[in-house]
Amino acid sequence: MATTRTRLIAAALPLLAVLVAGCAAQPTTPSVSAATTPAVATTPPLTASVVPATGRPGIEAPPDAELSVEGGDPVTGRLGTFAWRGGGSDSPWLPGTPIQVGAGETLRVTPTPDIAISGWSALLAPAASTGGEGAVNAGSGSTAVEVTAPGAGSWTLAVTIEFGDLGSATYSWLLEVP
């Protein structure tokens, strides 16, 4: 099981990277490997934001989703494709927000703000796979989102959550499992 301190560091990495990118003149390589996405032509500057540009999470746009493990700080997932209140946005398979977890730990995903979940499904793929090839079903349900962490390695976890008539959204995390 990862220590709390390790998790804090992992959770802080994206924020630190954003700050570095914002202060530096040169583009910074993202903390998530560019090799995990099929669309990358160049190493882009990091302008990380996990909230949609179009409105407040949970109101004009889908809520954020936080992944947490016991004893660790939650990490907000990267929002990808969603349909929300008469609109929507499409994305490819995305590299996720990094978080370090222990093998076999229970990963809990909760929307923020807390909006009722009507269904969810999770896919897990090796982080090195492009476009999610090799993804396997990591769980599904209609209430609380809980996924068991995989074995050692780097994995992309993509969780699609249904919010009843409000819509649905997909969030991604990069699971680093020592």
Partner 1 sequence: MKHIRDRRLAVLVSTLTLGLSVLAGSAVAHGPDPFLAGGAFGQNQALNFSWRSGAVPVAAIQTAIKAAAADVTATRGSKAATFTYATTGGNPIGYGLGATCGVNGIACFTRTAPTSFTMWLREQGHVFDWGSLKWCQSYSVPPSGCFDVETIALDEFGHVEGLGHHVNEPDESDYLDAVVQTFSHAKPQVGWNVHAFGVCDVATLQRVYDVLSWSAKYSTCNLLATTLTVAAPATVVYGGSATAVATLKVTDASAYGRLGANPLSGRVVTLQTRAPGTTTWLVAGTMTAGATAGTYARTLTLTADVQVRAVFKAPTDEGLGGSISSTATIDVGPCKVAPCPMSAPAGSQ
Cβ proximity of 172 and 160 under 8 Å: no
Cβ proximity of 96 and 172 under 8 Å: yes
- Closest approach of Cβ 177 to partner 1, in Å? 20
H/E stretch holding 23:
helix 4-23
How far apart are the C-alpha atoms of 38 and 129, rounded to whole Å? 9
Q: Which is nearer to partner 1, 108 or 119 (CB)?
A: 119
Backbone angles phi, psi at 53, to 5 degrees: -80, -5
Backbone angles phi, psi at 149, to 5 degrees: -65, 145
In this structure, how many other beta carbons lie within 10 angstroms of the beta carbon of residue 13?
19
- Closest approach of Cβ 37 to partner 1, in Å? 5
Q: Which is nearer to partner 1, 2 or 17 (CB)?
A: 17
- Closest approach of Cβ 140 to partner 1, in Å? 9
Tokens (6 digits) for 139: 């769980």
How far apart are the C-alpha atoms of 117 and 155, rounded to whole Å? 24
How far apart are the C-alpha atoms of 12 and 63, rounded to whole Å? 21
Cβ proximity of 134 and 155 under 8 Å: no
Q: Point out which residues bind partner 1 (CB under 8 A).
A: 30, 32, 34, 37-42, 44-54, 61, 78-83, 86-95, 121, 123, 130-137, 158, 160, 165-168, 170
Q: Which is nearer to partner 1, 2 or 109 (CB)?
A: 109
- Closest approach of Cβ 57 to partner 1, in Å? 11
Q: Which is nearer to partner 1, 6 or 154 (CB)?
A: 154
Q: Which is nearer to partner 1, 12 or 40 (CB)?
A: 40
- Closest approach of Cβ 5 to partner 1, in Å? 26
